[in-house]
Structure 1
């Protein structure tokens, strides 16, 4: 009995640890600035308002000055993040599928060493390679474009994508491929009609990982972009905190806008994500 009580208490404490910060951001986003700064704090808005969210569409004169027009730039930054994150996920899936299929189905000398080398590349700190990346993107004339961010984030996410897909592909029975070939399916048709539909949970898990990697990244986006034509939401969100004028309610509203797209995506695909991440460890 005591063990169950302790486990439930730990579970409740961990749930509060995860939920309370997000609740507090949502709570503040519906407050007036004076209520957000009050002591003791208000755990519920006394006079809820949607003005903080409406300001992203039509900012007032004072709001437009916050963080060099960070308020007005936020909708464009969210759109940029969606484009970059979605494109990164697609590129990672295409490249990762070919590589992971090869590792899962073809036995060749040095395959495990190569996989470990891929994984070790994720241990290199970003600050150590950001200058070379910047010089390469400048030489390719890709600075301040989606291409610079997509290429950078693909480099970060691809090793883990290969590992996730490799483990899941190994759980797909080879007999299904053999049966498709007996029915005169070519390799591409077999992949498209048989193998990939069965591998949907693994593909979704890898896609969500790539999406989140691109959505949350800040340092490379800060270095590689210089205008709202390609700046993502982490860069714009950092502009809200200034020495001259910081409005915490606007920051909270921007934080909610930044969290909602990936949160909705994860909630929709949570069953497939769990299946994709667990399949390799259970069956592999």
Structure 2
């Protein structure tokens, strides 16, 4: 029977493994180093993981900000498109409305009738009306027209104002106004005008016939052709009652419409200015008239 080897208590307390051959103090330091290394690895892995998460979060935030910026830009572009669409619709509506100011080429005789009616309504008359065929430029044309207006100066003012309000497509080219009588109360106006007409009216455009005829009473202006006849105001009744000369001073006793006044040269009475006092006469002036009043006349 072979003997069985048994370990003593001291041998059982000895550590086994790669640290078994190290001194206790060294072994303790190695263990501490391993623990520290373990924690460093854990911290490093955690930091790397946090960095990856932060990078992903930053990228996600940037992507969201980009989407928000694109969305805001789309809203701005949509608003600009809506504004441009509204402006285009407004311009189109105005364009169609402007067509209502333009008569058709076949309506030129109707325009002439309106002009004649406006002249009669203003208190004058239209004579010698002439017009040419339209001169076309695309679908727009110009009709050259001439006529003569006869009437008073106030009637002429009302006629011109009424034409401007009722036929907006008419343009005055040449106007020549002259008196028709010696007093200048009746005048004659020779007029050359252009009338814009349209060849074809687009769908939806306003009709020219719907444009209202407006009789306008213009602010009155003075008639430059009226001959002004000066009216002389009669002088008051004058009488010289006496003249006093003393110490180089002359004083006259002048009666004006029965009222007696003591006057000297330069004095004014009832619009009369004394310009000279003689021993037996006084000279007075009224405007451009000079009158000598003698004693006892």
Under TM normalisation by the shorter chain, which class is it?
under 0.3
Greater Rg, structure 1 or structure 2? 2
Structure with more relative contact order (C-alpha pairs < 8 Å, separation 6 or more):
1
Higher helix share: 1
Higher strand share: 2
